[in-house]
Amino acid sequence: MRALLLALLLLGLTGAAALAVEPGERLADPALEARARALSSGFRCLVCQNQSIDDSNADLAHDLRVLIRQRIAAGDSDEQVRQFLVSRYGDFILLEPPVKPATYVLWAAPFAVLLLGAGAATIYFRRRRGALPEQAAPLSPDEQRRLKQLLAEGGEG
């Protein structure tokens, strides 16, 4: 019984998630609809904040999906639609932050950290190589004599 309830609940959840874009919202032209879906998956739903407009069931997300499709059907380019929403809701509506002076640090940080790490690793390995014992000291005259002796014996044997 409990398993059945759980199954029903899970079914209900998946159904709700899959139906975020309602059939009535879709554009007749599949190419335009594909553009609308691609665009709206890049906009943040301002009510749920960690979902895109494309995924969200919020009322506002529905309104914005419809609005995006209206603008696309009216001949707006992707960039114009983006501008339209950003001018009203700010950069926060973009799930991918734009590259501009205020976000340079954000975009550069991973590469800076990578460079720092590479630098640190290089220094570490250089030092370690430096710390290895120097090449063995050259043989003393005594040792050389003995070595020659040994080699000479080997040659005879």
Q: Does 22 bind other proteins (CB under 8 A)?
A: no
Stretch that binds other proteins, among 15-23, 28-36, 60-68, 98-106 (CB under 8 A): 60-68
Shortest distance, position 84 Cβ to other proteins, whole Å = 10
Q: Does 90 bind other proteins (CB under 8 A)?
A: yes
What distances in angstroms separate CA 137 from CA 142, 146, 148, one per listed residue? Answer: 14, 16, 18
Rounded Cα–Cα distance for residues 101 and 44 (Å): 22
CA atoms within 13 A on the CB side of 94: 16
Among positions 7, 11, 47, 99, the unique one binding other proteins when judged by CB under 8 A: 47
Q: Torsion-angle region of residue 58: left (phi > 0), alpha (psi -120 to 50) or beta?
A: beta
Shortest distance, position 64 Cβ to other proteins, whole Å = 7
Q: Which is nearer to other proteins, 87 or 140 (CB)?
A: 87
Stretch that binds other proteins, among 15-23, 34-42, 43-51, 115-123 (CB under 8 A): 43-51
Among positions 73, 89, 94, 95, the unique one binding other proteins when judged by CB under 8 A: 89
**Binding-residue pattern over the window 103 to 142 for other proteins, x denoting contact by CB under 8 A:** ----------------------------------------
Among candidates 64, 60, 25, 26, which has minimal Cα distance to 42?
64
How buried is residue 7: exposed, middle or buried, by Cβ count under 10 Å (0-12/13-18/19+)?
exposed
Report yes or no: 117 and 125 within 8 Å, Cβ to Cβ: no
Among positions 20, 64, 72, 81, the unique one binding other proteins when judged by CB under 8 A: 64
